[in-house]
Amino acid sequence: MSRHANHTELLQELTAIGQEHLYAFYDRLAPNEKSELDRQIASMDWPLLAELIRTVVLNPQPLAVPENIEPAPYFQYAPHEPELREKYRQARAIGEQLLRKNQVAAFVVAGGQGSRLGWDGPKGTFPATPVKNKPLFQCFAEYLLAMQSRFNCAIPFYIMTSTANHQPTVDFWAQHHYFGLPESQIRFFSQDMLPAVSLDGKVLLETPGSLALSPNGHGGSLLALYKSGALADMQKRGITQISYFQVDNPIVRCVDPLFLGLHEMEHSDMSSKILPKVASNEKLGNVCLVNGKMTVIEYSDLPEVLAEQRTADGQLRFRAGSIALHAIRCDFVQRLNDRGFALPYHRAEKKVPCVDFATGRTIKPEKPNAIKMETFVFDALPLASSSIVYETDRIDEFAPIKNAQGVDSIESSRQITTLRNSRWLEPAGINIPRQADGTPDCTIEIAASFALYPEDVKAKAAQVPPINPGDQVYLQ
Ligand code: UTP
């Protein structure tokens, strides 16, 4: 649809696809609200939406389970074999060289709604660390600052938002003076939005004058990088590799020389970090080979008989769980966009507050009333010419905050952070008080300026005060 279409043309276009109810309250709107609704409607790709409503909302097909599924091979965490250790040594050197030559960008996808956490604001502003309550964004900024000073390099940082959280995100960074990163090194851009659709295929309004929009999934990042000019900006700066991560993990290695080095050494287009699953039903996507192509199969889509299979040594055969950390070549993102690409849309039934078309009043539904459609970044893996997988350590790098309570909550994330830090401190001779069940009886936060790796702690052991039961310890 033309961006310049007038109201009558827009109404015709909507009528042709049975969505004219979106103008049900138009006559009641103020002139500025009318033009805002027209602008929103003109910005949507209605042919795509009509197709998605037909295929994803009204006629969802059960997922065809591919026949030829094999576990994905992966590079083990901390292997013992001398050849692999030598390979990792070389890979780390290559990754460090990429950093020293300013060829790596950090990229966080922060456009999600974070509805499970229920935090009033962009998720990156959530207080995450166990002692100082640093917001997630600050954790990433401090990590990047420490890496920059260690490798004497610049690591430009790209932050994807959605139109719903863009301004609060930009304002937050500005208020905090970019947490010490040079402003010129940070670039914000927004992903596209899509409207939610009722279970019977009607696009929903959030208010009488606006669509019920939500971001189009983290898969939208691969298009948004290109459309926003962020990719061109990276290329102008000489960047060749993108280190992709999610906004919810305060202990993520935002850029990891070893992972980036393996990815570069193996000429991979898009690589993934995984964790061995602790149970067949653990809610991590399964990294597999499907007809030889790297593919993530959602945990709920892998047939149970495969999910339960074990190898001779008792491990799960399909154990590579995706944790949504990727290394992506800029050339790959460019190639996808040059050729044109379409990631599949996944459907999610959600409770979406919306306008009742009969009364014009807002409804706050108690059960799912709508379908949201999203693309996922890992669906680009099969489009890569080559792709490697690297195993990381759960405690060392994975403390996601997704829920307000329970699994993957702020509480579990803080516990994992303290556990990780106690594991870093103990080999350096620091005594960690323990509870009867063996968990640390203290809270420990280590700033990236103090240590990026356990080895760094050893050199600074003298700076660590004695830790007593119940202490809150902050090392910077
Ligand atoms: P989640 O799957 O945790 O989704 O996103 P969410 O929207 O943040 O949270 P819920 O499901 O509403 O509770 C994983 C990562 O992908 C980003 C999120 O910001 C997070 O870093 N994401 C997700 C986007 O950037 N855009 C999206 O459209 C969806």
- Assess if residue 50 is contained within a domain: no
From ligand 1's centre to the CA of 468, what distance in Å?
38
- Separation in Å, CA 332 to CA 181, 216, 294, 328, 442: 28, 21, 15, 7, 45
Q: Kindly give the interhelix angle for 257-265 and 82-100, rounded to the nearest 10 degrees.
A: 100
- Separation in Å, CA 81 to CA 27, 328, 391: 73, 28, 15
β 193-195/213-215 pair status = antiparallel
Position 394, amino acid:
R
From ligand 1's centre to the CA of 366, what distance in Å?
22
Q: What are phi and psi of 64, to 5 degrees?
A: -75, 115
* Site to substitute for ligand 1 among 107, 247, 407, most atoms within 8 A of C-beta: 247
- Does 420 have pLDDT greater than 80? yes
Q: Which residues contact 459 (CB under 8 A, 6 or more apart)?
A: none
- Separation in Å, CA 126 to CA 114, 122, 123, 342: 10, 7, 5, 33
From ligand 1's centre to the CA of 114, what distance in Å?
6
- The whole-number pLDDT of residue 130 equals 98
From ligand 1's centre to the CA of 216, what distance in Å?
10
Rounded to whole angstroms, the Cα distance separating 287 from 393 reads 16
First to last CA, the chain: 54
124 and 28 share a domain? no
Q: Which of 402, 418, 453 is the last residue of a domain?
A: 402
Q: Which of 351, 379, 402 is the last residue of a domain?
A: 402
Identify the residue whose C-alpha is closest to ligand 1 atom 25: 111
Render 407-418 in DSSP notation, one character per residue: TTBHHHHHHHHH
Element (DSSP H or E) covering residue 211: strand 210-211
Among residues 305, 396, 295, 374, the alpha carbon closest in space to that of 77 is found at 396
Rounded to whole angstroms, the Cα distance separating 125 from 168 reads 9
380 and 302 share a domain? yes
Element (DSSP H or E) covering residue 321: strand 320-329
36 and 169 share a domain? no
Rounded to whole angstroms, the Cα distance separating 323 from 320 reads 9
Question: Ligand 1 site: residues with CB under 6 angstroms?
Answer: 109-116, 123, 160, 191, 215-218, 220, 246-248, 374, 402
- The whole-number pLDDT of residue 390 equals 98
- The whole-number pLDDT of residue 387 equals 98
365 and 455 share a domain? no
From ligand 1's centre to the CA of 111, what distance in Å?
6
- The whole-number pLDDT of residue 325 equals 98
- The whole-number pLDDT of residue 66 equals 86
From ligand 1's centre to the CA of 389, what distance in Å?
22
Identify the residue whose C-alpha is closest to ligand 1 atom 2: 112
- Assess if residue 49 is contained within a domain: no
Rounded to whole angstroms, the Cα distance separating 352 from 15 reads 24
User: What is the share, in percent, of the chain residues with pLDDT greater than 70?
Assistant: 99
Q: Across the strands, what pairs with 161?
A: 190
Q: What own/partner pairs with CB < 8 Å and gap ≥ 24 does 457-461 have?
A: 457/424, 457/425, 457/427, 457/428, 457/430, 458/427, 458/428, 460/428, 461/425, 461/428, 461/429, 461/430
318 and 169 share a domain? yes
Q: Which atom of ligand 1 is nearest to the CA of 377?
A: 16
From ligand 1's centre to the CA of 466, what distance in Å?
40
- Does 472 have pLDDT greater than 90? yes
Rounded to whole angstroms, the Cα distance separating 114 from 125 reads 11
User: What is the share, in percent, of the chain residues with pLDDT greater than 90?
Assistant: 97
* Site to substitute for ligand 1 among 108, 109, 165, most atoms within 8 A of C-beta: 109
Once rounded to an integer, what is the mean pLDDT over residues 406-433?
A: 97
From ligand 1's centre to the CA of 376, what distance in Å?
10
- The whole-number pLDDT of residue 337 equals 98
User: 65 falls in which pLDDT band (50, 70, 90)?
Assistant: confident
β 270-276/389-391 pair status = parallel
Cβ atoms 187, 342 nearer than 8 A:
no
361 and 459 share a domain? no
* Site to substitute for ligand 1 among 188, 246, 326, 350, most atoms within 8 A of C-beta: 246
Cβ atoms 440, 422 nearer than 8 A:
yes
* Site to substitute for ligand 1 among 218, 225, 244, 405, most atoms within 8 A of C-beta: 218
- Assess if residue 138 is contained within a domain: yes
pLDDT per residue as tens digits for the range 242-251:
999 999 999 9
Cβ atoms 444, 473 nearer than 8 A:
yes
Using only C-alpha atoms, what is the Rg of the chain? Answer: 24
218, two tokens? 């983290």
Coil/strand/helix, residue 283: coil
306 and 413 share a domain? no
Q: Across the strands, what pairs with 321?
A: 275, 286
372 and 411 share a domain? no
203 and 143 share a domain? yes
Coil/strand/helix, residue 248: coil
Mean pLDDT computed over every residue of the chain: 96
* Site to substitute for ligand 1 among 107, 108, 113, 343, most atoms within 8 A of C-beta: 113
User: 1 falls in which pLDDT band (50, 70, 90)?
Assistant: very low
- Assess if residue 54 is contained within a domain: no
DSSP 8-state secondary structure symbol assigned to residue 57: I
336 and 445 share a domain? no
- The domain that holds 271 is classified in CATH as 3.90.550.10
Cβ atoms 149, 450 nearer than 8 A:
no
210, two tokens? 């606006």
Rounded to whole angstroms, the Cα distance separating 75 from 388 reads 8
- Assess if residue 51 is contained within a domain: no
Identify the residue whose C-alpha is closest to ligand 1 atom 1: 112
pLDDT per residue as tens digits for the range 377-395:
999 999 999 999 999 999 9
- Does 111 have pLDDT greater than 80? yes
- The whole-number pLDDT of residue 3 equals 63
Q: Which atom of ligand 1 is nearest to the CA of 245?
A: 21
Give me the domain span that covers residue 28: 1-43
Number of separate domains in the chain? 3
Q: Which residues contact 228 (CB under 8 A, 6 or more apart)?
A: 189, 190
Lowest mean pLDDT among 33-37, 62-66, 217-221, 230-234: 62-66
pLDDT per residue as tens digits for the range 126-145:
999 999 999 999 999 999 99
Coil/strand/helix, residue 402: coil
- Does 4 have pLDDT greater than 80? no
pLDDT per residue as tens digits for the range 255-302:
999 999 999 999 999 999 999 999 999 999 999 999 999 999 999 899
80 and 189 share a domain? yes
Coil/strand/helix, residue 11: helix
Among residues 151, 108, 88, 147, the alpha carbon closest in space to that of 451 is found at 147
Q: Which of 359, 377, 402 is the last residue of a domain?
A: 402
174, two tokens? 């500005």
- Assess if residue 380 is contained within a domain: yes
pLDDT per residue as tens digits for the range 311-336:
999 999 999 999 999 999 999 999 99
Q: Which atom of ligand 1 is nearest to the CA of 114?
A: 9
From ligand 1's centre to the CA of 115, what distance in Å?
9
Identify the residue whose C-alpha is closest to ligand 1 atom 17: 112
412 and 355 share a domain? no
From ligand 1's centre to the CA of 166, what distance in Å?
14
